[in-house]
Chains A and B, each alone.
Chain A
Amino acid sequence: MANVNLTINGKAVSAETDDRTLLVEFIREHQGLTGTHVGCDTSQCGACLVLMDGKAIKSCSTLAAQASGSSIITIEGIATGAELHPVQRAFKENHGLQCGFCTPGMVIAAIDMIERLGPDLDEPTIRKELEGNICRCTGYHNIVKAIKAASMQMATQLEAAE
């Protein structure tokens, strides 16, 4: 048995689990946070993305034991109370989801890319960065629009803060 100690959405979690438990199983089945999805068995769809120490990684291809000691943020942890995260709001406003299955992963990927590459992203960059996220409803156009809107909004917020 592995001893897993980490924080999930700011809350300290300490649990005993099977060594082979995947991080996504730990999050969904042990912690009951079912916003993180499993969309494939081949590590290719990105529905399972979570932020581990600030970086978007595939929780289906990481063991819970490997993540011990880290800080995990899931889709449940990005809004502030009732106020949506700017990326969530942009997905809502731009109709960036249809069935919504890929959306948690898309939103986490978007947060990661905006934080890494800076605000005000252009469309080719966003499309390239989404290489690891598959939308079965194929609604990519509005997903890209939503991420662009969120990145522009974050640019405006930064300017206003200066």
Chain B
Amino acid sequence: MYETSYNRVSSVTEAATALDAADDPKILAGGQTLIPTMKQRLAAPSELVDIRQVDELHGISMQADGAIRIGATTTHAEVAANADVRAQLPGLASLAGHIGDPHVRYMGTIGGSLANNDPAADYPAAALALGATITTNKGSYSAEEFFTGMFETALQENEIVTAVTFPVAQRTAYAKFPNPASRYAMAGVFVAQTPSGPRVAVTGAGQEGVFRMPAMEAALAENWAADSLGSIQPDAQDMLADIHGSAEYRANLVNVMAKRAVAAA
């Protein structure tokens, strides 16, 4: 790891000031992506601004309209164990409980995961399928606006994700086929029955990161059942291909995972 300097802050304002004052800073949350990346010398920020202990960024609350607001530094373990999330959005709780391993889940945060937008990360699928709103210290984004490509988001330099709000949904489920070594998704499908109809979002498989499946959504609007998905799958041309699986394999996996998710919801 290259040299860096560490700065722990206790408020969002303090974090913003520290980020603006530094040369080439990075926000440090759970560190479960950033520290391994720095160890491999793929990132070398001059300063780390540690927001893990900022109280105002932490915690889960149910809003008056039933939406669930999750602070950016809330850990995967906390989301998985939260009673409101389990009751209202069981698909989201189950997704959080299957990220990586128990030790990653104690440290890793929802804000870090969304800001990183790894094409194989799990949370982006839930955010897009549920139409979540991502709030920052500068404004807010719909999930559609937020995820702009592989490891790319709409966040401006030094913009801090402060919370994510998930609106109500009648039914939710997530099915993922994890890479057996890394536990990241080879294909992960989040399905939701929302007040505006069914929504389906896919992670792990697409070359451009997370995406929706309008054809599956239309089929589920006709009849919410695994069978109605038939052989609907994404175009293999748009899928990732690597040593773990070909593009055709991933396209088929999306269909299989979508059916499993609908059956579980």
Contact = CB atoms under 8 A, between A and B. Distances in A.
A2 B6 contact: yes
A55 B8 contact: no
Contacts of B107: 57-58, 61-62
B5 A41 contact: no
A36 B51 CA distance: 27
Contacts of A43: 32, 35-36, 104
Contact of A66 (B1, B28, B38, B101): B28
A114 interface: no
Nearest to A134: B181
A49 B52 contact: no
Given A42-B36, A44-B182, A58 B6 contact: no
A6 interface: no
A71 to B, nearest CB: 15
A32 B208 CA distance: 46
Interface in A87-115: 109, 112-113
Nearest to A2: B6
Nearest to B106: A55
A55 B32 CA distance: 15
A131 B102 contact: yes
Interface string B12-53: 000000000000000010011001101110000000101010
A20 B182 CA distance: 25
Contact of A57 (B4, B50, B106, B182): B106
Contact of B52 (A66, A112, A113): A66
B102 A63 contact: no
What bracket does the count of chain B residues touching chain A fall in? 20 to 34
B31 A63 contact: yes
Contact of B8 (A56, A65, A133): A65
B182 A46 contact: no
B222 interface: no
Interface residues of A, number: 29
B3 A20 contact: yes
A58 B104 contact: yes
A19 B102 contact: no
B204 interface: no
Interface in B86-127: 100-104, 106-107
Contacts of B40: 41
Given A61-B31, A63-B31, A66-B31, A56 B103 contact: yes
Contacts of A20: 1-4, 6, 38
B260 interface: no
B58 interface: no
A129 interface: yes
A34 B123 CA distance: 36
A12 B3 CA distance: 27
A74 B121 CA distance: 31
A56 B3 CA distance: 27
Nearest to B108: A61
B239 to A, nearest CB: 25
A49 B106 CA distance: 12
A56 B48 CA distance: 23
Contacts of A68: 8
Contact of A56 (B1, B5, B100, B102): B102
Contacts of B104: 43, 58, 132
Interface of B: 1-6, 8, 28, 31-32, 35-36, 38-40, 48, 50, 52, 77, 100-104, 106-107, 181-183
* Shortest beta-carbon contacts, A-B, top 3: A132-B101, A19-B6, A131-B101
Interface of A: 2, 18-20, 22, 41-44, 46, 49, 55-58, 60-63, 65-66, 68, 109, 112-113, 129, 131-133
Given A19-B4, A22-B1, A43-B36, 5 more contacts: A41-B40, A49-B103, A56-B103, A65-B50, A113-B102
